[in-house]
Structure 1
């Protein structure tokens, strides 16, 4: 991203924090503080970094995204991230929710095309092209005016999503909008898990719901997310638990609320995942 983009961003964000904009699907974020590696959840989004660097970790996979590389998370993923930022060079980014209706329209217009099968993970990074830089600049200019945002926003996002869908690493993103593809089936299953994470979820029923064999479902789920289905469910539950604890839930109530039958097992899993027991959540 070039300096004129950064200048436009700084007109919209003065202090550290997360900012809503006149376009509902776009938020701006700024921090001057280094943030060490820790767990979080990304939910169906595109991250355009305007300044600074973020490093994402998904099991053995590492993604560095900065003003030369953007990050796409086409489905909800538990993840670990480290933010490189300072007062001299704050981390500034645009968080853009991926509008599914626009993506369906774009994929339909693009038609069937081969993608780079080397990148089969759901999450991917790719190069910021001159076209994407140009769209980013126009988006930031548009966000400074409510009427401009209302009238021009949808078409600008459509143009941006088109460029991302055409990128060389967008295999999962592209295929998840083709309903007969395994990527689409895994994405549907992930949405189901998120709606029903506190219920008893077994591999057989999850595979059956998306019309896959147990072995195919297990293998493709792990290939796409780096987690087995059961690992994924546990990580989602633990992230939900953190949200509840921050709302002052008691540890016992929290464990049962997210689907654990044993409070002691919940506490062990929570400490293993976050590095601290649930009772110390306020200090995370």
Structure 2
């Protein structure tokens, strides 16, 4: 299932996009990632399509300025391009790859980290925004509004002037999130920061898993954290993550192990134990089931 809204780009959006592409070209002279700290901004440039890469993603707004990308949450595919941005409200294990890119027309994108606190602060100024119910996915593809494009354009302008970045970039990020909340997916994004709601309680459980995934975890303990019954936790957790709590824990462990094995070149047995597995053989079986190859093949590639 491919989840992507469809609409036509206006003349005003096309003009803005040309200006944004020019600024991004200047900001990303090299291929790969350009991380701008402490603002939590990552600029991305690629000149060819990429292989699907597994990564545990933290909440963000991801705006493609040129090209096209797809992310996968289980069997769900989320496609996004200059007309549609990707928003993540909770930490999720995704696979993603660039679909459209070439040396002549490089893939250009900006990822902006967001937090529950940022959303909660903005919700104080949006009293009419009603969080969505029942539970919805913690990921969505959202149409780009002209107001959001203008804000991203200003943010890129700020980034071209390092002396202004520290003061002005956080203001642009806040404005970008504000416009995202005003869009059609605003209620879905707001739900995860609204105290007492099921989305917010599931988000608390996800944060707990993220912090303790290598430790023994069970559904009863997680249900206590959420102040839900185990069956209710299972229902709402799956609605948000497209996985049961135990499936999510297993996937998070395997994604972290994948990074240890392929990026940090950690030994397979050490990676298994670091993420909470007691059996290397079980780890290898489940790794292959998720990634389509055993850890030794991934390590060698």
What TM-score, normalized to structure 2?
Answer: 0.89
Q: Provide the rounded CA distance (Å) in 1 between the counterparts of 2:239 and 2:298.
A: 32
Question: Cα–Cα, structure 1 residues 86 and 117, in superposed 2: closer, same or farther, change >3 Å?
Answer: farther
Question: Cα–Cα, structure 1 residues 170 and 225, in superposed 2: closer, same or farther, change >3 Å?
Answer: farther
Question: Cα–Cα, structure 1 residues 241 and 60, in superposed 2: closer, same or farther, change >3 Å?
Answer: closer
- The secondary structure found in structure 2 opposite 1:36 is coil
Structure 2 counterpart of 1:109, from 121, 125, 132: 125
- 2:28 maps to 1:13: yes
- 2:197 maps to 1:181: yes
- The secondary structure found in structure 2 opposite 1:137 is helix
Aligned to 1:82: 97
Aligned to 1:64: 79
Moved segments of 4+, more than 3 Å: 115-119
Aligned to 1:221: 237
CA contact (8 A) 1:36 1:83 kept: yes
Matches within 5 A, 1:80-159: 80-84=95-99, 85-114=101-130, 120-159=136-175
Cα deviation for residue 216 of structure 1 reads: 0.9
Aligned to 1:46: 61
Q: Provide the rounded CA distance (Å) in 1 between the counterparts of 2:287 and 2:103.
A: 33
Cα deviation for residue 116 of structure 1 reads: 5.7
Cα deviation for residue 172 of structure 1 reads: 3.4
- The secondary structure found in structure 1 opposite 2:51 is strand
Q: Provide the rounded CA distance (Å) in 1 between the counterparts of 2:111 and 2:172.
A: 15
Aligned to 1:73: 88
Aligned to 1:279: 296
- The secondary structure found in structure 2 opposite 1:9 is helix
Aligned to 1:261: 278
Q: Which moved more, 1:223-232 or 1:147-156?
A: 147-156
Cα deviation for residue 22 of structure 1 reads: 6.2
CA contact (8 A) 2:60 2:87 kept: yes
Structure 2 counterpart of 1:270, from 287, 296, 301: 287
CA contact (8 A) 1:22 1:146 kept: no
Count residues in correspondence: 284
Structure 2 counterpart of 1:193, from 182, 204, 209: 209
- The secondary structure found in structure 2 opposite 1:88 is coil
- The secondary structure found in structure 2 opposite 1:92 is strand
Q: CA RMSD in A?
A: 1.8
CA contact (8 A) 1:121 1:225 kept: yes
Cα deviation for residue 88 of structure 1 reads: 2.6
Cα deviation for residue 119 of structure 1 reads: 8.2
CA contact (8 A) 2:122 2:178 kept: yes
Q: Provide the rounded CA distance (Å) in 2 between the counterparts of 1:118 and 1:185.
A: 13
CA contact (8 A) 1:121 1:224 kept: yes
